[in-house]
Amino acid sequence: MKGIVIITLIAFLFSTLLVLTNYFLNRVNRRLEAVLNMLPGYNCGACGFGGCPGMAEQIIKNGVDPKRCKPMKEEQYENIMKYLKEHHIEVKKD
């Protein structure tokens, strides 16, 4: 009976460790995800960043102007700028 309890406790500890590791290693940057969803999604690389995920990352981390995205419509640009302003992310104009 003791063996079953010990094995159960060890399994519980390892599963808790796995859950915590997964949580910390796979955190999603919600701001990055939101900006990525506002971009056109063509992944054309016309902005110079190899695709929309790279462009979204540069907008969030370095304040790159979303106007660098060539196929973006004005409405999308305005939505991104509004979002960035609400989240206090400064954009550097080219």
- Give yes or no for a contact between 52 and 40, defined as CB atoms under 8 angstroms apart: yes
Residue whose entry in the numeric block shows the structure tokens 């981390």: 61
User: How buried is residue 9: exposed, middle or buried, by Cβ count under 10 Å (0-12/13-18/19+)?
Assistant: exposed
Structural domain boundaries in the chain: 29-86
CATH class of the domain at 29-86: mainly alpha
Residue range 50-81, pLDDT digits in tens: 899 999 999 999 999 999 999 999 999 999 99
Q: Which two tokens stand for residue 65?
A: 């102007």
Arithmetic mean of pLDDT over the chain: 93
Q: Which two tokens stand for residue 36?
A: 């990525």
User: pLDDT above 90 covers what percent of the chain?
Assistant: 83
